[in-house]
Amino acid sequence: MNREGIIQELKFKAVRSSGAGGQHVNKVSSKVELTFDLENSMALTDIEKNRLLRKLSTKLSKENILIMQCEETRSQHKNKELVIKKFLDTLEASLTVPKRRRKTKPSRSAIEKRLKSKKKAALKKLNRGKPRLE
């Protein structure tokens, strides 16, 4: 993954932030919206694009454009940094290939330990009943 190339392809748009905030919110565009065209990216290989299309399918628009936004702080510059970091983290997480699970058997001692604890619990429950009068 070519980070610098991907950052060059990002498009940003400043929008007015939602929610309460008084007069300042109504005149300042502090919310940052990031768009990334996944299909037309030159910084990603075809394999990476396919993996991202599969992993991020719920977050992509119909044109395969990833849109992320940030309005955490009052500063537009800080929000831009945060949304870039969030975007790169999402890409890295989606591109990591999980390890294949190897089938293993439980060890003999683990099986014996489990059966012993089951026996102990069964005896404990058996002793809770009413005593027999014979």
Domains: count for the chain: 1
pTM: 0.72
User: From CA 3, how far away is CA 129, in angstroms rounded?
Assistant: 68
Q: Phi-psi bin for 22: left (phi > 0), alpha (psi -120 to 50), beta? A: left
Q: CATH no. for residue 86?
A: 3.30.160.20
Domain presence at residue 100: no
CB atoms within 10 A of CB 30: 22
Read off the pLDDT of each residue in 49-66 and give the average, rounded to a whole number.
92
Domain presence at residue 25: yes
User: From CA 85, how far away is CA 125, in angstroms rounded?
Assistant: 55
User: From CA 51, how far away is CA 55, in angstroms rounded?
Assistant: 6
Total number of residues shown for the chain:
134
> Is there a contact between 30 and 76 (Cβ–Cβ < 8 Å)?
yes
Domain presence at residue 10: yes
Q: Say if residue 134's pLDDT is above 80.
A: no
Q: Which domain holds residue 11?
A: 3-95
Read off the pLDDT of each residue in 93-115 and give the average, rounded to a whole number.
95
Domain presence at residue 43: yes
Q: Say if residue 64's pLDDT is above 80.
A: yes
Read off the pLDDT of each residue in 16-22 and give the average, rounded to a whole number.
76
Compute the C-alpha angle 85/44/70, nearest 5°: 25
Domain presence at residue 65: yes
- Nearest alpha carbon to residue 31 among 82, 89, 66, 85: 82
pLDDT at 109: 97
pLDDT class for 28, splitting at 50, 70, 90? confident
